[in-house]
């Protein structure tokens, strides 16, 4: 996630970090060169067909609606993902308080909360397809960490470990019925948030719709120079470049927002949110809290 103060009006046009320009500069250049070629051919060699600018305007409005709808759908995914991780943080904090209330065995309480932190890291590892063994081994021990990572869904396995630990405490008459119900509700909320994140991760926006938008964008930008011949003349390449920046830029932004858990500059800072969970648990156990994840070059990972 990009974290920085809004640039000045002058610097606004030169900020590259977090911008989609590096990803689409090739497309913009291609459309600009096509527009320049069309203008040169029309003026010096052979008259080319001139498309009505009004017709292209209608075409552009339709394309804008398609891109706007897809952008809204992608942002909804991004925002829902952020809310779900907010729920995870809240539930782990609630679990910490509930363990302090209901579990008198310090070792058992620490073990359960360490497993909750491991759950967050394992869930992050699943969403980002990255190795988190270095983060969970100090929390669970090498043997248990290896066992958890051996499951198809390690985060869900961590929740089962917590459940098994609570069952053991219940069998030892250390938890009454109300405590079991309260802790069970919190674990259920964690599992629901986890499954919802997995739904977002494994269910992209419909491919057929993405394909339609991409094809339409290429067609529009490719035909636009023929509509700009009369209206703008030699300025056609400049206008074509601006339009290509807008449409291809929206398309690229949508592609990033559609994947909120990926390790992208505009993705969610899962490392930082896992550190928030670590801090909450450490303070609940009376241990020194780790330092927050630092913002490096305006990027929070």
The 3 state secondary structure assigned to 132-179 is CHHHHHHHHCHHHHHHHHCCCCHHHHHHHHHHHHHHHHHHCCCCCHHH
Report the alpha-carbon distance of residue 259 to residue 121 in Å, rounded: 18
By 3-state DSSP, what share of the chain in percent is helix, strand and coil, each rounded to 5? 75, 0, 25
pLDDT above 90: residue 164: yes
Checking if the pLDDT of 16 tops 70, the result is no
Compute the radius of gyration of the chain from its Cα atoms. 26
pTM of the shown model: 0.89
pLDDT band at 9 (very low <50, low <70, confident <90, very high): low
pLDDT band, residue 97 (cuts 50/70/90): very high
Report residue 5's pLDDT band, with 50, 70 and 90 as the boundaries.
low
Mean pLDDT of 145-170: 95
Confidence of residue 130 (pLDDT cuts 50, 70, 90): very high
Residue 18: predicted pLDDT: 65
Stretch among 3-12, 19-28, 216-225, 243-252 having the lowest mean pLDDT? 3-12
Residue 2 has pLDDT above 70, yes or no: no
Residue 1, pLDDT score = 62
Helical pair 207-232 and 53-102, crossing angle rounded to 10 deg: 140
Question: What is the predicted pLDDT for the residue at 27?
Answer: 92
Number of CB atoms found within 10 A of residue 262's CB: 15
Q: Rounded distance, CA 252 to CA 209, Å?
A: 15
- Check residue 7 and give its pLDDT: 64
Residue 115 in tokens: 């497993």
pLDDT at residue number 194: 97
């Amino acid at each position: 996630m990009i974290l920085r103060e809004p640039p000045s009006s002058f610097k606004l046009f030169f900020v590259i970090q977090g911008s989609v320009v590096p990803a689409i500069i090739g497309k913009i250049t291609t459309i600009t060169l096509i527009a320049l070629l069309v203008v040169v051919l029309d003026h010096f060699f052979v008259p080319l067909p001139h498309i009505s600018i009004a017709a292209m305007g209608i075409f552009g409005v339709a394309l804008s609606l398609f891109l706007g709808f897809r952008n809204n759908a992608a942002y909804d995914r991004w925002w829902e993902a952020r809310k779900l991780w907010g729920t995870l943080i809240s539930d782990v904090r609630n679990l910490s308080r509930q363990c302090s209330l209901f579990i008198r065995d310090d070792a058992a309480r620490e073990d359960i909360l360490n497993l909750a932190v491991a759950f967050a890291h394992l869930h992050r590892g699943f969403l980002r397809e990255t190795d988190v063994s270095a983060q969970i081994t100090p929390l669970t021990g090498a043997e248990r960490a290896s066992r958890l990572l051996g499951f198809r869904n390690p985060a869900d396995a961590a929740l089962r470990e917590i459940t098994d630990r609570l069952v053991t405490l219940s069998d030892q008459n250390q938890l009454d019925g109300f405590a079991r119900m309260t802790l069970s509700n919190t674990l259920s909320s964690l599992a629901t948030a986890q499954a919802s994140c997995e739904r977002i991760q494994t269910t992209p926006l419909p491919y057929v719709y993405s394909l339609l938008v991409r094809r339409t964008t290429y067609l529009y930008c490719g035909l636009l120079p023929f509509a700009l011949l009369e209206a703008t003349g030699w300025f056609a390449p400049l206008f074509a470049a601006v339009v290509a920046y807008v449409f291809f830029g929206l398309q690229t932004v949508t592609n990033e927002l559609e994947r909120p858990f990926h390790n992208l500059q505009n993705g969610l800072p899962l490392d930082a949110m896992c550190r928030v969970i670590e801090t909450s648990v450490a303070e609940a156990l009376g241990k020194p809290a780790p330092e927050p994840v630092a913002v490096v070059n305006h990027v929070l990972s």
